[in-house]
Amino acid sequence: MQIVSKGLTFTYNKKSDFKKTALSGVDVTINEGEFFGIVGETGSGKSTFIQHLNGLIRVQDGSLTVGEYNLNPTDKNGKKQLKKQLKELRYKVGMVFQYPEYQLFAETVFDDVAFGLKNFHPELSSSEVALKVQKALEVVGLDYDAVKNKSPFELSGGQKRRVALAGILVSEPEILVLDEPVAGLDPVGKKRLMSLLHTLHDTGVVKTIIIVSHDMDEISENVTRVALFRDGKAVKVCTPKELFSKNDDSADRLGLPVTAYVQKELEKIGVQIDTDYKSKDFIEKIIEKYKSLNK
């Protein structure tokens, strides 16, 4: 499902003296199959934008479509729409908020993962639910028999996050949206979770993945394209290479990935490196440059 936002505008407390415009004419297209990044300073509109994608926040002005779903509350004739579609939309667009492990609540891992599925599909039998829960837990790398009857609060931080992710994946969404997916995890936990997301994406378990992040290394290493939000607008939609290039200071307020920083330092001593800022590519280019300079 392709996501198309045109002129999307949203104001909190619109009719009060405390109104605040969070989105101001956002134009963004996210194609089906992308691993897409969203970056920007705190208050730039990132979270407000992603909450529009499954109807948690309703469209006020502008337009937003997700696949065949028009998220505007009324059609061109002023007739109310969307309400009946919301349940189906939220089944297809999974939302994982920052620190999702804090949203675990059930007595067992099984019940936590099964909760959303039962809500979306009350017609499923208990055996059908069990099969889907087992599949979801195994997809995120957890042993079903070992964890299903445990309290979620007995698990490690990384395991809790996987359980929370399983609770979204059990509904088999086409789009997965994650707000700061590796926040609070140690380096090993970060690497494992991002590897899991790529596996989900590469194997087609989830067609489209969207991550919001303040970590520019995470963005440079993982996404195919990125939207830079500033003051409620998507001021740039491009590849990470374009965002972090030496001729573009759009991302300076956010900092740079380590590879971009090292590249700039090398340029100061006359060493030019053309890289996409992924660590693997950067290391290969450094080795190539070293060999060429030492012939």
With cut-offs at 50, 70 and 90, classify the pLDDT of residue 184.
Answer: confident
Question: Reduced to 3 states, what is the DSSP secondary structure of residue 291?
Answer: helix
Q: How far apart, in whole angstroms, are the C-alpha atoms of residue 219 and residue 87?
A: 31
* Gyration radius of the chain's alpha carbons: 21
Task: Return the higher-pLDDT residue of 119 and 212.
Answer: 212
Tokens standing for residue 263: 């590249």
Residue 207: DSSP 8-state: S
DSSP string, 5-28: EEEEEEEETTTSTT-EEEEEEEEE
Apex 245 CA angle, 31 and 49, nearest 5: 40
Query: What pLDDT digit, counting tens, does each position of 7-64 carry?
Result: 999 999 888 888 899 999 999 999 999 999 999 998 899 999 999 999 889 999 999 9
Q: How far apart, in whole angstroms, are the C-alpha atoms of residue 250 and residue 287?
A: 29
- Of 261, 276, 191, 163, which is closest to residue 225 (Cα–Cα)? 276
Cβ-based neighbours of 193, under 8 Å, separated by 6 or more: 158, 161, 162, 181, 182, 185
Residue 80: DSSP 8-state: B
- Of 147, 202, 158, which is closest to residue 183 (Cα–Cα)? 158
Query: What pLDDT digit, counting tens, does each position of 124-173 carry?
Result: 899 999 999 999 999 999 999 999 999 988 888 888 889 989 999 998 99
Please determine, for residue 78, whether its predicted confidence score (pLDDT) is greater than 60: no
CB 86 within 8 A of CB 119: no
Residue whose token pair is 């101001």: 24
